[in-house]
Amino acid sequence: MITVLYVDTDPKMWTIISQIFEKYGTVSVFPAGSGEEALAWLSQYQADVIVSDVYLPGMSGIELLHTMRSKGISMPFIFFSERDSPRLKNEASPEEIFGFVTRKGRERKPVLDLLRRIYFAAGSHETEYPCRGMKPGHDT
């Protein structure tokens, strides 16, 4: 079972992510509504992968990433956001993140792309993938 800390302000996305991940994979999702809430969760629990929106109230996803890294928290970090720009991607060095998946509203395809990225980030690249048709780490 892969444990994912999912940081996003949209509770509907928490539900969508959890439902799709439970249907297609062995992934447990723990939601957090802010960077501060994510750090509090990480002070008590362990995740295999962190998934975060870029734009969060208070501490941004980029600031969350940098804070985690400064505290020695090195687990794979994936951005999952509607807003995508080269500037945002440059704010987090490629060594710090495991990927950036762009979503469009609440569409299913980006969520499945995220699931594939999570499996690969968690080191499950030698196992059978629940999402047929694409290889792990494949960007669309």
- Integer distance in angstroms from the first to the last C-alpha of the chain? 25
Q: Answer yes or no: is 40 within a domain.
A: yes
Interval 105-120 mean pLDDT: 88
**For helices 11-24 and 108-121, angle between their N-to-C axes, nearest 10 degrees:** 60
Q: What is the largest CA-CA distance in the chain?
A: 39
Indicate the SS3 state at residue 52: strand
Q: Which residue type, as a one-letter code, is found at position 100?
A: F
Q: Which of 2-16, 22-36, 116-130 has the lowest mean pLDDT?
A: 116-130
Percent share of the chain, pLDDT over 90: 48
The string of pLDDT tens digits covering residues 63-88 is: 999 999 999 999 999 999 887 666 66
In a domain, 133, yes or no: no
Per-residue b or e along 37-76, where b marks 16 or more CB atoms closer than 10 Å to that residue's CB: bbbebbeeeebbbbbbbbebeebbbbebbbbbeeeebebb
pLDDT score of 25 more than 80: no
Range of the domain at 63: 2-121
* CA distances in angstroms from 6 to 10, 30, 122, 132, 133, listed in the order given: 11, 6, 14, 23, 25
Question: Quick check: is 69 in a domain?
Answer: yes
Q: Is residue 107 part of a domain?
A: yes
Number of domains composing the chain: 1
Please tell me the predicted confidence (pLDDT) of residue 133.
Answer: 38
Average pLDDT (127-133) is 41
- Using CA atoms, how far apart are residues 110 and 108, in angstroms rounded to an integer? 6
pLDDT score of 61: 92
User: What pLDDT is stored for residue 89 in this prediction?
Assistant: 66
Is residue 139, in this structure, part of any structural domain at all? no
Residue type present at position 106: R
Indicate which CATH number applies to the domain containing 46: 3.40.50.2300
| Top-confidence residue, 138 or 65 | 65
* Cβ-Cβ contacts under 8 Å for 37 (sequence gap 6 or more): 7
Structural domain includes residue 135: no
- The answer to whether residue 33 scores a pLDDT higher than 80 is yes
**Is 137 a member of any domain?**
no
Task: Give the pLDDT score at 128.
Answer: 41
Q: Does some domain include residue 117?
A: yes
pLDDT bracket for residue 120 (50, 70, 90)? very high
pLDDT of residue 129 exceeding 80: no
